[in-house]
């Protein structure tokens, strides 16, 4: 490759000093209009591209924010990243993505070496606490109610409220015997279970919770066992869409039709749930909005404003689809 063009070359071509070129290029400070033009033209002509490393070193700030995604395979994070990208850009910060599942703790290290100005945790990162303890950069997390780094700000939807809305929806359809497939030991699982149980009790529904997990496999197993019982519930609320899809498969295996024989609801409103062929009733967890709020929070912290430890709860929204209907008895 040709010898790289530096700001010195630009300055020389434009006939100005190095620092004048720097100022002109960046629009900071005051520069003679004629020289400004000359610098810009020279830069364009030479195809000048600033060196981010040099800039970061000189300016003592990188302008980048590291986004750590819990798992690329589960696309629930997409709206969150969109919101974050939006919010960060308008704060003059640039996001860079990495996958926790694929890279783990070294990813954090790498971001820190890049001197990112902040880190955003998207989703639930297994065992990230250690890697995130004692770091200088501000941390904001979206999508998990449990702080995964000391002092991290948390932005997420109100899982308990979302679960309550599902229960109300099922009750309104006429269901009296409902079940919840939970994910014990996870923060989202606990919150959703609590919401489910509270609201079921309040409405006087016959209800029960069984442990499952956050994956399709877990939902399939638990669903299979649950739906095989003689006094099976008329409606099942799974902790998330993946698990709900597992239940859907289990129902199919058992010859049960959804929603004719059993109604089914999930959580997260994933693209898969929205597919017409699936049509899973779910809860929109407002992750796009969460991303936007998180970006703002992080920008504030970077700018020096307080905000560490803040927790923001967003209102979730029920998305009723074809997987829920009145119970068989009520027909």
The binding site for DNA (CB under 7 A) comprises: 4, 6-8, 16-20, 22-23, 25-26, 28-32, 35, 48, 50-51, 54-55, 57-60
* Residues comprising the chain, all counted: 331
Least distance to a copy of itself, CB of residue 122, Å:
11
**Minimum CB distance to DNA smaller for 20 or for 152:** 20
Mind giving me the DSSP string for 150-203? TT-EEEEE-HHHHHHHHHHHHHHHT--EEEEEE-TTSHHHHHHHHHHHHHHHHT
Q: What DSSP character marks residue 314?
A: E
Q: For residue 248, what are its two tokens?
A: 């859907």
Report d(CA 159, CA 311) in Å as an integer. 14
Check whether the bond before 259 is cis (ω within 30° of 0).
yes
Least distance to DNA, CB of residue 323, Å:
54
Least distance to a copy of itself, CB of residue 205, Å:
26
CB-based contact 167:203 (threshold 8 Å): yes
Which one of residues 27, 92, 185, 276 is an interface residue with a copy of itself (CB under 8 A)?
A: 276
Near a copy of itself in 129-158, by CB under 8 A: 134, 136
Which one of residues 6, 9, 12, 82 is an interface residue with a copy of itself (CB under 8 A)?
A: 82
Residue 99 CB coordination number (10 Å): 15
Range in contact with a copy of itself (rule: CB under 8 A) among 55-63, 157-165, 171-179, 192-200: 55-63
Residues at the contact surface with a copy of itself, assessed by CB under 8 A: 1-2, 47, 49-57, 62, 72-73, 75, 78, 81-82, 85, 94-99, 102-103, 109-110, 112-115, 134, 136, 216, 220, 245-246, 248-249, 252-253, 271-272, 275-278
């Amino acid at each position: 490759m040709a010898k790289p063009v530096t700001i010195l070359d630009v300055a020389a071509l434009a006939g100005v000093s190095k620092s004048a070129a720097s100022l002109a290029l960046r629009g900071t400070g005051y520069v003679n209009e004629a020289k400004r033009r000359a610098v810009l033209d020279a830069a364009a002509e030479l195809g000048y591209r600033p060196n981010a490393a040099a800039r970061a070193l000189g300016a003592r700030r990188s302008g980048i924010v590291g986004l750590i995604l819990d798992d690329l395979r589960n696309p629930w994070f997409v709206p969150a990243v969109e919101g974050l990208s939006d919010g960060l850009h308008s704060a003059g910060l640039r996001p860079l993505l990495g996958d926790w599942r694929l890279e783990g703790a070294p990813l954090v290290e790498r971001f820190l070496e890049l001197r990112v100005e902040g880190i955003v945790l998207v989703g639930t990162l297994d065992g990230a606490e250690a890697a995130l303890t004692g770091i200088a950069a501000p941390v904001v997390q979206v999508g998990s109610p449990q702080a995964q780094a000391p002092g991290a700000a948390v932005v997420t939807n109100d899982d308990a409220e979302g679960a309550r809305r599902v229960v109300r929806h099922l009750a309104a359809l006429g269901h009296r015997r409902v079940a919840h497939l939970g994910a014990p030991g996870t923060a989202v699982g606990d919150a959703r279970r609590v919401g489910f149980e509270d609201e079921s009790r309040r409405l006087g529904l016959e209800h029960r919770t069984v442990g499952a997990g956050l994956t399709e496999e877990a939902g399939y197993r638990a669903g299979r066992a649950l739906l095989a019982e003689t006094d099976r519930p008329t409606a099942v609320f799974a902790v998330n869409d993946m698990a709900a899809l597992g239940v859907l498969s289990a129902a199919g295996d058992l010859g049960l039709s959804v929603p004719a024989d059993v109604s089914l609801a999930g959580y997260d409103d994933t693209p898969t749930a929205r597919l017409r062929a699936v049509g899973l009733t779910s809860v929109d967890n407002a992750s796009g909005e969460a991303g936007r709020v998180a970006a703002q929070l992080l920008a504030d912290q970077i700018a020096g404003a307080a905000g560490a430890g803040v927790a923001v709860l967003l209102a979730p929204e029920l998305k009723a689809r074809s997987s829920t209907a009145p119970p068989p008895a009520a027909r």
